[in-house]
Amino acid sequence: MVQDSTIEEINVVMQEAWQAFHQYRQQSLSQRSIFIRTIALELEALGDELLRVASAETNLPEARLRNERNRTIFQLSSYADACEQGSWLEARIDTAIPDRNPPRVDIRKMMIPLGPVVVFGASNFPFAYSTAGGDTASAFAAGCTVVVKAHPAHAQTSDLVAGAIFKAADICKMPKGIFAHVHGTGHEVGRALVTHPYTKAVGFTGSYTGGKALFEWGNQRKEPIPVFAEMGSVNPVFLLPEKLQQSAEDLARMVVGSVTLGVGQFCTNPGLIIAMEGEPLQRFLQILALEVKNVNPGTMLHPGIAKGYTEKRASALSQRDVDTIAVSSAGASPNQGVPTIASASAQAFLNNPVLHEEVFGPYSIVIRCKDIKEMIEVARHTEGQLTCSVMATDNDLLANADLVEALKNICGRFIVNNVPTGVEVCLSMHHGGPYPATTDSRFTSVGADAIKRFARPICLQNWSDILLPDELKNENPFGIWRTVNNELTKDAIK
């Protein structure tokens, strides 16, 4: 049984995080990288016991958790590599031109860490977006200290992972306070963390309500801070006419696989499918219905999520002009999510904001449009999304440039002929999107660019070489990529 932290304990934790920050930020990129890699090793060393505890707490199968842990280890080591490689520092140097009229002084810029970062663990990724997940790894890479609020639905898993981070900190002789782990089942702990004067940024993945509350607290502070919240998304999938005509059956199978994957508990779950009425859509719906009926309900992450799914699904299905196309034919036990597909006309969707909301679980609604103009109208009236997908031939895309432009405007990742579930951890990934998908569409929470969320630029003007940070010294001792007088180079400055 875990104990909630008291406000006094939060105060101590934040003070230690603040003190440790001033030591940790001085450590070299390679010292930070070694620490992050050691966390990965310690996470692995927790062995199958971690998987058993996590599976018991989250109802996720051990095989899925094994994959997720591997992904988390990869994430830690790839962010460690990126940290050391240093491109995220965005080092820029414009050397002095004394004989220019007017003369130019020496100006250099790089990213520096923000300060202690508070991370809220996500229920649907107990490893990859929780205690030693992407937010924690990117904050450490940036040179920030980290305080994690464990997700109450997997508190013991979080304790075990926190133990691995403490051990890594010990091995690497990191300052006390570099990492802290707190519990809180009410909102008081979260509020105390976000509003604490020593907190300088927040990372969150979860509900719109939770993310928005944290964002508002962050902004209402005497000193406002960035709150990077990844919240809801319905990830629309547009089926364009030529592709639908050619591949209706294959598309239906692909979509059902994505909607029901992991009991639909992914932020990239496709909750909205848009197509033009006609015979190809009928074929698509027929296979969609057959396939969904064959998918068994699955136990959801925690009773709160199951309750949320049951209520939101019931609300969506009870809306005027919404038809239920298919429901899993297997009986459901308590806390299980029942795979469900609904359908409505474009006009019904455009007139009813309830149909735009995320139903977190194995649910999707097919929107039937009369023509391409209505599809564009739907795109233009859809809120900010993590992803948009189009199933399309090249002809479809060339013929529908307006739809393509409308979709670019609302999403962070634009996918062609693929489903949105499955988020690769790589530098070119963008996992973010316009509000309300996230609170800041300029940043990603997946891929090493996530480090930039927890750093800010500082410009150093007219400093002598000996006093500059190593990353900006003429000699370039770490051999990092820098933009020197507008050219990207690793060369030293002569």
Instruction: Please report whether residue 213 would count as binding ligand NAP according to CB under 6 A.
Output: yes
**230 a catalytic residue:** yes
**Cα 391 from chain centroid?**
24
Compute the least distance from the CB of residue 385 to ligand NAP, in Å: 11
What values do phi and psi take at 76, rounded to 5? -60, -45
Binding mask 73-102 for ligand NAP (x = CB under 6 A): ------------------------------
Instruction: Please report whether residue 127 would count as binding ligand NAP according to CB under 6 A.
Output: no
Binding mask 455-484 for ligand NAP (x = CB under 6 A): ------------------------------
The residues, any chain, with a CB within 8 Å of residue 279's CB and separated by 6 or more, are none
Which residue's CB is nearer to ligand NAP, number 38 or number 58? 58
Compute the least distance from the CB of residue 192 to ligand NAP, in Å: 10
Q: Which stretch binds ligand NAP (CB under 6 A): 121-129, 135-143, 329-337, 362-370?
A: 121-129
Q: Give the tokens for residue 60.
A: 């996720």
Instruction: Please report whether residue 363 would count as binding ligand NAP according to CB under 6 A.
Output: no
Binding mask 262-281 for ligand NAP (x = CB under 6 A): -----x--------------
CA distance 476 to 482: 9
* Residue of 93, 110, 111, 122 that binds ligand NAP (CB under 6 A): 122
* Residue of 149, 154, 413, 452 that binds ligand NAP (CB under 6 A): 149
**Cα 347 from chain centroid?**
32
CA distance 174 to 83: 17
Which residue's CB is nearer to ligand NAP, number 231 or number 261? 231
Reduce the DSSP state of residue 358 to 3 states and report it. Answer: coil
Cα 212 to Cα 121, 206, 267: the distances in Å are 16, 10, 16
Q: Which amino acid is at 184?
A: G
How many CB atoms lie under 10 A from the CB of residue 427? 12
Which residue's CB is nearer to ligand NAP, number 233 or number 387? 233
CA distance 141 to 126: 21
CA distance 443 to 438: 9
Q: Give the tokens for residue 121.
A: 């663990």
Which residue's CB is nearer to ligand NAP, number 132 or number 168? 132
Cα 77 to Cα 81, 89, 137: the distances in Å are 6, 18, 9
String of DSSP letters for 196-220? -TT--EEEEES-HHHHHHHHHHHHH
Out of 57, 68, 84, 230, the active site residue is 230
**424 a catalytic residue:** no
Q: Which stretch binds ligand NAP (CB under 6 A): 19-27, 99-107, 108-116, 302-310?
A: 302-310
Q: Which residues are catalytic?
A: 230, 267
Given the rule CB under 6 A, which residues bind ligand NAP? 120, 122-124, 149, 151-152, 184-187, 190-191, 205-207, 209-210, 213, 230-233, 267, 304-305, 308, 358, 360
